[in-house]
Amino acid sequence: MTRIENYDLSGRNTFGMKVKCALFIEYSTAKELESIDWDSLPKPVMHIGGGSNLLFTKDFPGTILHSCINYVKYVDVGLDEIPVMAGSGVIFDDFVANVSGNGLWGPENLSLIPGEVGAAAVQNIGAYGVEVKDIIKGVVCYDTVERKSVKFQNDECRYGYRDSMFKGAQGRYIVTAVLFRVSRAFAPKLEYKGVREALGLSPDAAVPEDLTPQRVREAIIGVRRAKLPDPAEIGSAGSFFKNPVTDAVSFAHVIDVAREEFGPDVTVPHYILEGGMVKIPAAWLIDRCGFKGAVQGGAAVYEKQPLVIVNAEGKATPSDIIALEKRIIEGVGNKFGIVLHPEVEHV
């Protein structure tokens, strides 16, 4: 177990914010985590994964914990549905590569999402019609209040859009392992036009029977790389805002505004959800408000994907990013009457 005081977190958050914490602890096993003297730690205590969904707004006065529990274990390989246990410190994309490379279906649409397995289960990451909750069977945690290991079934995790009960538990539960369910059964999810195009399929074309999870993974990677920055080269936290979900009346207002400003033939992309609610891509709203490429100090809206705010040259401050975030929220709200909410956690 590693313990470092006054630790530089610059390399622990993909935004590249130059901040420090009072104490950093990195552990390799659940037993090491359980052995920590919690009462003696500088407060508050926060657990991070790959730091890919965080915006540190200032130095952190307490303790930052990080998991290095790193294993992927196939529990039973003889069934169509195969349980796979992964340690919380496993790079999530490495897990996807492992599963897809073994010809198994489930996480391939989540390829190249940055972060680690534990954080993925907390955040309920999602992309291209799949959320990680769809393949999670259970989550193993350390309960910092009861000081013991606990297990939660999928339905106990109360998963929602980029949400789970772990986010509302104020850090009580630290994920140590996640049990996934993947499948041998042919089950590609190709509802998104861009993914079908990357596979060379027209909207109405039948899915070829020889399509593999690895081919879908490669297509997803190509789509993501074409429009999203590599955090290793340009600091960002991926999608900065959640896609807003609104009612039919508010969506009709968005259509009216769009047609008035951009012409009667404009199409507002959207997805109809259960109960008649409508999800609108935040990227479209931001783009139509003219924010693509907008600059605020060292921060900017990524020119290829307006849903992403970047630390353009590595010199952005937290205040630059927050100011740009506020500009975007106000601009979209004033034009379309839709309130955007950040997906990135502010610390």
The distance from CA 145 to its chain's CA centroid, rounded to whole angstroms, is 27
Q: Per residue in 266-297, is it b (16+ CB within 10 Å) or e — as a string?
A: eebebeeeeeeebbbbbbbbbbbbebbebebe
Cα 207 to chain centroid, rounded: 28
Q: Which of 162, 184, 259, 327 is catalytic?
A: 162
Tell me how far apart the alpha carbons of residues 149 and 309 are, in angstroms, rounded to a whole number.
37
191 is catalytic: no
288 is annotated as an active-site residue: no
Radius of gyration, alpha carbons of the chain: 21
Q: Which two tokens stand for residue 48?
A: 């991070």
What φ, ψ does residue 116 adopt, rounded to 5°?
A: -120, 165
**What is the H or E stretch that residue 198 is in?**
helix 193-198
How buried is 96 (Cβ within 10 angstroms: 0-12 exposed, 13-18 middle, 19+ buried)?
Answer: buried
* 54 within 8 A of 345, measured Cβ to Cβ: yes
Active site residue 345: no
Given 52, 88, 164, 239, which residue is catalytic? 239
Q: Which residues pair with 291 in a beta bridge?
A: none
Element (H, E) at 337: none
Instruction: Name the residues annotated as catalytic.
Output: 162, 239, 343
